[in-house]
């Protein structure tokens, strides 16, 4: 688990080092990477791995309290605050009235939380000079996203899944990168790491409820897949990698064809 994470961070480290601080920021950045930490097992695992990483990548934490789960939400915030204090890591905390934002904008709670948190992350990067935001999406999340996109009738781009790096979503004009350093790790690997080292994390009780489409896939569909193929997540990861390369090859060919057309060059397609 640690080796896989370190290998992924080796790929990302060069990009982080070369990436400029957000435009308009002047001064010395507090850290290079801002970790989005909810207090759940995935994001706490990411924080623990960053803390143990050698060579060290300077990082800070950001925690959003969406006030959707009452005392549970406050307990999540307390855990993240305690961890940041114990590890002497800079911490940013904010609270949102997520339900009001969703109602005012006519969007779902999930989309409201997404827009609120990424908009705030972009502000923090601009204010403190963070080059990137790291989120704890893992291989299982990627598989869930693929199936959701397929059910929505997505095109080729949708079935490539998530990428290790991408622009920060819901933040037009932001220079910050979005990093997914756990994307090649399965949830079982994350659980194994946290249990082995007895690291603390919080359970989100809503994860066990299948009211949301993503939760239904996780709780009801994936167990069936696992009975058919116990390694189905690894199989899907390999498919993601192949499809991603094919997608970018397709885009490159299409761009080349468009340039030829602009120069009035006849393009002959094979039969």
% pLDDT > 90, the chain: 60
Number of H helices, E strands in the chain: 10, 6
CA distances from 61 to 65, 70, 80, 131, 135 (A): 13, 22, 8, 13, 11
- The C-alpha atoms of residue 200 and residue 188 are separated, in whole angstroms, by 16
Whether 203 has a pLDDT exceeding 80, the answer reads yes
- Does the pLDDT of residue 251 top 80, yes or no? no
Tallying the residues shown for the chain, one arrives at: 271
Spatial contact of 30 and 90, defined as CB atoms under 8 Å apart: yes
In the predicted structure, residue 130 carries a pLDDT above the cut 90: yes
Mean pLDDT of 219-228: 95
Q: Which residue has the higher pLDDT, 167 or 27?
A: 167
Q: Say if residue 103's pLDDT is above 80.
A: yes
Distance CA 104, CA 194 (A): 39
Instruction: Provide the mean pLDDT of the chain.
Output: 89
Instruction: Quickly tell me which residue has 């791995």 as its tokens.
Output: 49
**Mean pLDDT within 206-227:** 90
**What pLDDT was estimated at residue 261?**
81
Average pLDDT rounded to a whole number, residues 32-56? 96
DSSP 264: T
Q: Is the pLDDT of residue 113 over 80?
A: yes
Greater model confidence, 173 or 223 = 223
The answer to whether residue 269 scores a pLDDT higher than 70 is no
Residue 111 has pLDDT above 80, yes or no: yes
Q: What is the pLDDT of residue 270?
A: 65
Best CA proximity match to 38, nearest among 7, 102, 83, 86 = 83
pLDDT confidence of residue 86 = 98
pLDDT band per the 50, 70, 90 thresholds, residue 49:
very high
Find the mean pLDDT for residues 133-140.
96
The more confidently predicted of residues 196 and 161 is 196
Q: If pLDDT is split at 50, 70 and 90, which confidence band does 97 have? A: very high
Strands 33-36 and 132-134, by their bridges, are parallel
Residue with the bigger pLDDT between 42 and 15: it is 42
Q: For the residues 266-271, what does the mean pLDDT come to?
A: 68
**Alpha-carbon span 121 to 38, nearest angstrom:** 13
pLDDT confidence tier of residue 23, bands split at 50, 70 and 90: low
Judging by beta carbons within 10 Å of its beta carbon (0-12, 13-18, 19+), is residue 221 exposed, middle or buried?
middle
pLDDT at 26 over 70: no
Range with lowest mean pLDDT among 15-29, 61-75, 161-175: 15-29
User: Which DSSP letter does residue 145 get?
Assistant: H
Alpha-carbon span 181 to 166, nearest angstrom: 12
What integer pLDDT is reported at residue 177 of this predicted model? 94
Per-residue pLDDT averaged across 66-92, rounded? 96
Give the model's pLDDT for residue 257: 81
């Amino acid at each position: 688990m640690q080796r896989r994470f370190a290998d992924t961070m080796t790929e990302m480290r060069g990009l982080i080092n070369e990436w400029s601080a957000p435009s308009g920021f002047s001064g010395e950045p507090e850290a290079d990477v801002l970790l989005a930490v909810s207090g759940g097992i995935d994001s706490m695992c990411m924080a623990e791995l960053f803390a143990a990483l050698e060579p060290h990548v300077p990082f800070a934490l950001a925690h959003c309290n969406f006030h959707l789960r009452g005392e549970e939400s406050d307990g999540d915030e307390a855990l993240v605050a305690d961890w940041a204090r114990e590890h002497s890591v800079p911490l940013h905390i904010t609270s949102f009235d997520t339900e009001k934002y969703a109602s005012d904008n006519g969007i779902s709670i999930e989309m409201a939380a997404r827009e609120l948190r990424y908009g705030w992350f972009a502000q923090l990067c601009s204010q403190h000079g963070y080059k990137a935001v790291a989120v704890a999406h893992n291989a299982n999340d990627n598989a869930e996203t693929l199936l959701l996109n397929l059910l929505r009738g997505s095109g080729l781009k949708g079935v490539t899944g998530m990428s290790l790096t991408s622009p920060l979503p819901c933040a037009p004009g932001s220079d910050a990168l979005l990093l997914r350093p756990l994307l090649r790790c399965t949830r079982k690997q994350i659980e194994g790491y946290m249990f082995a080292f007895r690291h603390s994390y919080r359970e989100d009780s809503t994860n066990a409820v299948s009211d949301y489409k993503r939760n239904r896939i996780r709780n009801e569909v994936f167990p069936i897949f696992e009975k058919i193929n116990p390694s189905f997540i690894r199989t899907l990861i390999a498919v993601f990698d192949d499809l991603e390369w094919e997608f970018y090859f397709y885009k490159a060919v299409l761009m080349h064809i468009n340039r030829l057309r602009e120069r009035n060059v006849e393009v002959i397609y094979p039969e």
